[in-house]
Amino acid sequence: MIGEMAFVEYVTCMSIAEIKQLPMREKFQIMEALWEEMHALADEASAPEKHRKILDARRDEVESGRASLLEWDDVKNQIGQA
């Protein structure tokens, strides 16, 4: 397995087309490296107040029963039928 820093440097010079040609194992390594970085950044980032208010209002709608959540697979199926 490639060392983390060497791996990141290796990946940063690759195009999306090149990444698509990689074996599945290497794609998963890239995905895991990206996920770890995004997870760390998400902890530092905060949504703008405007977005937070919208999300809070939507959460309240669901919790009060005025709205319901849909399963992602159902949404995808409905989009495909439109």
Please say whether the beta carbons of 38 and 60 come within 8 A: no
Q: What is the enclosing helix (H) or strand (E) of 9?
A: helix 4-12
Q: What is the pLDDT of residues 34-64, one digit of tens each?
A: 898 888 887 777 778 999 899 999 999 999 9
Give pLDDT tens digits for 20-31: 999 999 999 999
Q: Is the pTM of this model over 0.85?
A: no
Phi-psi region of 15 (alpha: psi -120 to 50; beta: other; left: phi over 0): beta
* Rounded distance between C-alpha atoms, residue 11 and residue 5, angstroms: 10
Contacts of 30 (CB under 8 A, 6+ apart): 11, 19, 22
Measured distance CA(68)–CA(75) in Å, rounded: 13
